[in-house]
Amino acid sequence: MVQGYLGSEGIESQLKDELTAQVYNFYSNAIGGVKIQVKESDYEKARLLLQKGGYLKTDDDKADTEDSIEVVTSDETTNTKICPFCQSTNIGKKKEPNLLSVFVYFILGVLFPIFRKTYKCFDCGKEWKFKKSRKFT
């Protein structure tokens, strides 16, 4: 896709290690994945095009997408189908293993839920989990 995108903008490119990654897909990380090569004179233009097209992330983009899961308190009236930050309904659920539970599971061999549920908004990019608020009487 990247090679086609650059080609549509008039930049010639070649793929390196494409066939190796296809045939021996477990070697992909060892060889550094598939690499795209462009002429040195087209490098800066290609880099800017790839950033504009969303294929390369800048340092600012990486700082914005830092893996931080926020905790949102909830009660019976909280709507869990909308994002608490931007009010969007374009959200999804993620299930990730809780590392402490996985460790205890392997040591004791006890079956219990080992996944924690988090939510991700695809519009604002935030991740959160709900924590029930306690009622004190």
Sketch the domain layout of the chain as residue ranges: 2-63, 67-132
How many CB atoms within 10 Å of residue 104?
A: 14
What mean pLDDT do residues 111-130 have?
76
60, 62, 68, 74: CA torsion to nearest 10: 70
Q: What is the pLDDT of residues 45-59, one digit of tens each?
A: 999 998 888 888 776
Task: Give the global pTM.
Answer: 0.45
